Amino acid sequence: MLQAVIVAHPNPDSFTLSVAHAYAQAAEAAGGQVVVRDLYAMNFDPCLKRDEIPSEPDYRLHPDVAAERAALEGVGLYVLVYPFWVNAPPAILKGYIDRVLGFGFGFAPDGEGAHPTASGTRLLSFTSSGAPRHWVVDTGALSAVRNLFDTHLAKVCGLTVVDHIHFGAITPNMTAAAVERHLDLVRNTANWINRDS
């Protein structure tokens, strides 16, 4: 199964990138095919342009979006990996969803709103926060993100949500052992997903 790991963090040495790489390596070792889209390393432009709005008379598909859609062709699982910043995903990830997974790729218009065009594709998310997980749960931040970035995105595009794994209390002074425990969970998740595919 072809999987797209879409990761959003500007620091290549971050916990977020470690999660993305751990997942990709474990998935490939288990027989999966993985394409990694490191949005910051790609310098992806998250800003939707006026001529990318379908109702505009000069609507067109920009070359960077066309290239991304080509890279994602045939993907059976999207793996979103990102930190919570102000209890929401980084803007670059939202822009990627707007421009790449949006109109004409993830969904198409119909008389009732939108028709999903990615049915059969699955969605897995790994997120992290500096705040402890219980705080993110108690404040409603985790459920809000899950509603918008898991449930809603899945409904609009026809995706099936596999899981959303959140790591709390991710700080620069974490022990190597704590990081490794988290990465073991990521690797185990990749193993069972690829075993069951």
Over the stretch 85-97, which tens digit does the pLDDT of each residue have?
Answer: 999 999 999 999 9
What pLDDT is recorded for position 111? 72
Count of other CB atoms within 10 angstroms of residue 10: 13
What pLDDT is recorded for position 110? 78
pTM, entire model = 0.96
**Segment 160-169, tens digit of pLDDT:** 999 999 999 9
**Segment 98-110, tens digit of pLDDT:** 999 988 899 987 7
**Residue among 192, 190, 185 nearest 28 (CA):** 190
pLDDT band at 195 (very low <50, low <70, confident <90, very high): confident
pLDDT band at 114 (very low <50, low <70, confident <90, very high): confident
Query: Does residue 51 surpass a pLDDT of 90?
Result: yes
Query: Does residue 3 surpass a pLDDT of 90?
Result: yes
Question: In the chain, what are the domains?
Answer: 2-195 (3.40.50.360)
Query: Does residue 115 surpass a pLDDT of 90?
Result: no
- In sign, the C-alpha dihedral spanning 65, 66, 70, 75 is positive
What string of DSSP letters covers the chain? -EEEEEE--S-TTSHHHHHHHHHHHHHHHTT-EEEEEETTTTT------GGGSTTSTT----HHHHHHHHHTTT-SEEEEEEE-BTTB--HHHHHHHHHTSSBTTTEEEETTEEEES-TT-EEEEEEE-SS-HHHHHHTTHHHHHIIIIIIIHHHHHT-EEEEEEEE----TT--HHHHHHHHHHHHHHHHHHHH--
Q: What angle do CA 79, 16, 86 make, to 5 degrees?
A: 95
Q: How confident is the prediction for the chain on average, in pLDDT? A: 95
